[in-house]
């Protein structure tokens, strides 16, 4: 089946034609590992996990190479390690930095696995590719595209005439809209750092320009070249990386390897909102994937909500969407329990995801398969989208009858009937408060009382009832 993707570089939806159908190559910018993965990190991971699933479905699993890096040398990482030292940890800063990155990478992989993201073929760490970065920087200096100054090495933006083509900005626009670092050693305000000095207490490596560490942008260029070559099929990331990170990657990579094309297709996912507002610590609506998992929201629910919005549209996380996703998935899991998945993927579902990763359309198709009673096709579709239930905390809930929830519903119904006569609703209110505290949704109508376990259901809180 043909795959169509919206290429940021050309600003058009195009038929995807791989450079080599036997080796489809994808590079995605991964996280800077200084803290837990937030919901924005998860959106990018889920979007490109789906892209890889589609590519492997169409071209074959062995014919796709997926690379997603870890940035493990960064000022934010240094700051977290320095904070531990200030707090009294006597160990060397280098040890604290290594411990922090290992810890954070472990967290990231654990949290991404919980939302159904498979590990890529390669997960390079920047610190393991320093020699390749130094070699690339030296080549850029030799070809006149970079220059050394006061222990720094900077890329000369003026030396690359196509700078700004990806984002569609002129250099003047970029200077006006960006926080350009003003430094006396720069020949031009737009020139960006390839190498910078390190003090004795910070991570550093020996280089022809002195002890230092790489700039952020050169890391991805060196790692993608080493693992995928001078030309590869797709480069992805969040649209917040388009400028300056991806723009700078293109400039330095195309100048370092002028015979190559670097990335043929550029894909960018839109940002995430929470209840209609930009996610921000200042607004108090900033949270991590682990925050939601710890609240009892299964990873499948998080993934379902994300896939319900097209990757090129802003995604709004709301409690209402999580509740709706929970109900839908519970119904589908009940419907497919004990069933065998169909050997072939439903053609309409595959067609949807092949059309610029239309995962919302794929979920709409799952709804139709469910309504038509096609449980085998439904299960195959759930599995393909990474929504099949394997083992997730929160989904292994007992049924309403087995857990005694049905008896508690009867108890609440009896208390309500008595309150209607006595006009004393204190017992009704007490029971409702207890149920809500345990994560149970309470529905009362003229026809009766219904109790539904929610995502945060905790049976232990019902012990006293």
101/78 Cα distance (integer angstroms): 10
13/15 Cα distance (integer angstroms): 7
222/228 Cα distance (integer angstroms): 10
Handedness of CA 292, 295, 299, 302 (dihedral sign): negative
Strand, coil or helix: what is 255? helix
Q: Which residues face 440 on adjacent strands?
A: 453
121/338 Cα distance (integer angstroms): 32
Structure tokens at 48: 């490109």
Residue 29, annotated ligand binder? yes
Range list of β-strands (E), 270-412: 272-274, 277-278, 315-317
The dihedrals phi and psi of 137, each to the nearest 5 degrees, come to -65, -45
Residue 249, annotated ligand binder? yes
Query: Cβ atoms within 10 A of the Cβ of 414, count?
Result: 13
Distance in angstroms between the alpha carbons of the first and the last residue of the chain: 56
Environment class of 176 (CB within 10 Å of its CB; exposed 0-12, middle 13-18, buried 19+): exposed
Structure tokens at 384: 């393909």
| Annotation: binding site | 29, 220, 245, 249, 281
| Annotation: binding site for Zn(2+) | 29, 220, 245, 249
| Annotation: binding site for ATP | 281
């Amino acid at each position: 089946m043909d795959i169509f993707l919206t290429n940021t570089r050309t600003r058009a939806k195009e038929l995807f034609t791989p450079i080599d159908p036997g080796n489809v190559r994808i590079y995605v910018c991964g996280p800077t590992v200084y803290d837990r993965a937030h919901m924005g990190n998860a959106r990018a991971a889920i979007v490109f996990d789906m892209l890889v699933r589609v590519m492997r479905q169409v071209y074959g699993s062995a014919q796709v190479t997926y690379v997603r890096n870890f940035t493990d040398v960064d000022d934010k990482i240094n700051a977290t390690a320095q904070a531990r030292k200030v707090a009294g940890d006597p160990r060397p800063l280098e040890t604290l930095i290594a411990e922090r990155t290992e810890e954070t990478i472990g967290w990231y992989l654990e949290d991404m696995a919980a939302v159904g993201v498979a590990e890529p073929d390669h997960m390079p760490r920047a610190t393991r590719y320093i020699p390749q970065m130094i070699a690339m920087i030296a080549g850029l200096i030799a070809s006149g595209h970079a220059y050394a100054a006061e222990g720094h090495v900077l890329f000369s933006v003026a030396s690359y005439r196509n700078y700004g083509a990806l984002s569609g900005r002129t250099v003047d626009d970029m200077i006006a809209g960006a926080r350009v670092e003003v430094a006396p050693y720069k020949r031009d305000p737009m020139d960006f750092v390839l190498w910078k000095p390190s003090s004795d207490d910070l991570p550093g490596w020996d280089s022809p320009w002195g002890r230092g560490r790489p700039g952020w942008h050169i890391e991805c260029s060196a790692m993608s070249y080493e693992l995928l070559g001078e030309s590869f099929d797709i480069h992805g990331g969040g649209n917040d990386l388009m400028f300056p990170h991806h723009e700078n990657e293109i400039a330095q990579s195309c100048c370092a390897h002028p015979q190559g094309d670097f990335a043929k297709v550029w894909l960018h996912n839109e940002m995430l909102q929470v209840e209609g507002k930009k996610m921000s610590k200042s607004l108090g609506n900033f949270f991590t994937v682990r925050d939601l998992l710890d609240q009892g929201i299964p990873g499948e629910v998080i993934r379902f909500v994300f896939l319900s919005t097209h990757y090129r549209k802003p995604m709004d996380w709301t409690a209402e969407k999580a509740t709706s996703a929970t109900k839908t998935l519970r119904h589908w899991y009940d419907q497919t329990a004990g069933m065998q998945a169909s050997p072939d993927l439903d053609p309409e579902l595959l067609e949807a995801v092949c059309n610029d990763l239309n995962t919302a359309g794929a979920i709409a198709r799952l709804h139709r398969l469910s309504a038509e009673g096609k449980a085998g096709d439904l299960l195959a579709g759930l599995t393909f989208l990474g929504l099949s239930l394997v083992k997730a905390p929160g989904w292994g809930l007992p049924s309403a009858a087995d857990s005694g929830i049905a008896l508690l519903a009867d108890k609440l119904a009896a208390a309500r009937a008595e309150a209607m006569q006595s006009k004393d609703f204190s017992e009704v209110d007490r029971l409702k408060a207890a149920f809500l505290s345990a994560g149970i949704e309470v529905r009362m109508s003229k026809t009766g009382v219904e109790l539904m376990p929610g995502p945060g259901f905790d049976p232990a809180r019902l012990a006293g009832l």
